[in-house]
Amino acid sequence: MKVVDQALALWGMDGARATLVAERENKVYRVDHDGRRYALRLHRPGYRTAEELRSELDWTQALARRGIAVAAPVAAADGGLLHAVCGTHCDMLDWLSGSPLSDHALDGASRAALFSRIGAEMARLHAACDDWQPGPGFTRWSWDTAGLVGEAPLWGRFWENPTLAPGDRALLEQFRDRAAVALSRLEGRLDHGLIHADLVGENILVAGDTLFLIDFDDGGFGFRLFDLATALIKSVEAPEFPELRQALLTGYLSRRKIDAAPLDLFLALRAVTYLGWIVPRMGEPGAEARNARFLRTSRALVAAWMDG
């Protein structure tokens, strides 16, 4: 707790109660201080630079000021939003109420209604991003052609996942080549800008009529359709998937225009990213089952798009 105690002191919260609530890519502590709650984040060393983390905080602060339901940064006692403690970058955010969308067991109609709300909120997010002009030092990575299917994709070389059978590897290599050509043709034509890039159920908190969008750790520049694909990817095997897809698009289009014709390509691209993401995590509990699920989803979506 040495890092936590020193971080709390930097925010003027000496002696506050800190409870570990999440330990995924980063460690997140709920901090109770003077009748209020905050979220203290200890960032995984080596994953993000200080410039990238400051850029994320500037970004989410701008979104909060534009009425988007995100966790706004809380300044430390010296006014800074980010500090390094014992080599670990730390920041503090407002605590958000609600429970993750992934924890909600809903029937088909209720789920479709919720996806419509997600689509509308995503459209508001994209519009707010376009309304904001980042400063000259703004640094975030890009989910562009190189970031998705280049030599060093952001989440890893998915076609080299060591569990792939020869046929699956050949399929993914062919997909990579064809997707690169398709993306090069779409660049400049499709809506592109700042995106969350990880709007799965765990990163959407439901609190009554409010949907909070959390964890911008992977956010950066990219195609807006990638956000839509990400919101859908974990539901592609659900019987009601066609209804969820239409509900998401309907909600989005109620707030903002988008050309959804290439959505199947972005569903396939989102699917294969997980085959790269899982490789350095193969030693974690449940990784084998997750990898098998990622491969099954990727195989189906890639084949469907290539046959399209």
Identify the CATH number of the domain in which residue 299 sits.
3.90.1200.10
Mean pLDDT of all residues in 182-197: 95
Q: Quote the DSSP letter at residue 279.
A: G
- The CATH number covering residue 83 comes to 3.30.200.20
Sequence-separated (6 or more) residues with CB below 8 Å from residue 83: 7, 10, 76, 89, 90, 91
Check whether 308 has a pLDDT greater than 90: no
Residues 134 and 87 in one domain: no
Give the per-residue pLDDT at 108: 65
Portion of the chain with pLDDT greater than 70, in percent: 98
Residues 81 and 208 in one domain: no
Check whether 168 has a pLDDT greater than 90: yes
Give the per-residue pLDDT at 103: 78
The structural domain count of the chain equals 2
Strands 88-94, 142-143: pairing kind: unpaired
| Residue 142, token pair as written in the block | 């890009």
Check whether 49 has a pLDDT greater than 70: yes
DSSP β-bridge partners for residue 84: 89
Q: 278-303: per-residue pLDDT in tens?
A: 999 999 999 999 999 999 999 999 99
> Which pLDDT band holds residue 1 (cuts at 50, 70, 90)?
low
> Which pLDDT band holds residue 104 (cuts at 50, 70, 90)?
confident
Residues 246 and 217 in one domain: yes
Residues 113 and 91 in one domain: no
Residues 55 and 128 in one domain: no
The C-alpha atoms of residue 16 and residue 120 are separated, in whole angstroms, by: 38
Domain that holds residue 38: 2-96
> Which pLDDT band holds residue 64 (cuts at 50, 70, 90)?
very high
Residues 159 and 90 in one domain: no
Length of the chain: 308
Q: Which of 96, 116, 141 is the last residue of a domain?
A: 96
Residues 143 and 88 in one domain: no
The C-alpha atoms of residue 300 and residue 281 are separated, in whole angstroms, by: 23
Q: Would you say 267 and 233 are in contact if contact means Cβ atoms under 8 Å apart? A: yes
Residue with tokens 């059978």: 165
| Residue 279, token pair as written in the block | 């490789």
Residues 14 and 143 in one domain: no
Check whether 141 has a pLDDT greater than 90: yes
Mean pLDDT of all residues in 64-72: 96
Q: Which of 96, 123, 147 is the last residue of a domain?
A: 96
Residues 92 and 150 in one domain: no
Mean pLDDT of all residues in 260-274: 98
Q: 3-state SS of the chain: helix, strand, coil percent to 5?
A: 50, 20, 35
Query: In terms of C-beta density within 10 A (0-12 exposed, 13-18 middle, 19 or more buried), how is residue 5 classed?
Result: middle
Residues 171 and 290 in one domain: yes
Residues 50 and 180 in one domain: no
Residues 149 and 16 in one domain: no
The C-alpha atoms of residue 76 and residue 95 are separated, in whole angstroms, by: 15
Q: Which of 45, 69, 96 is the last residue of a domain?
A: 96
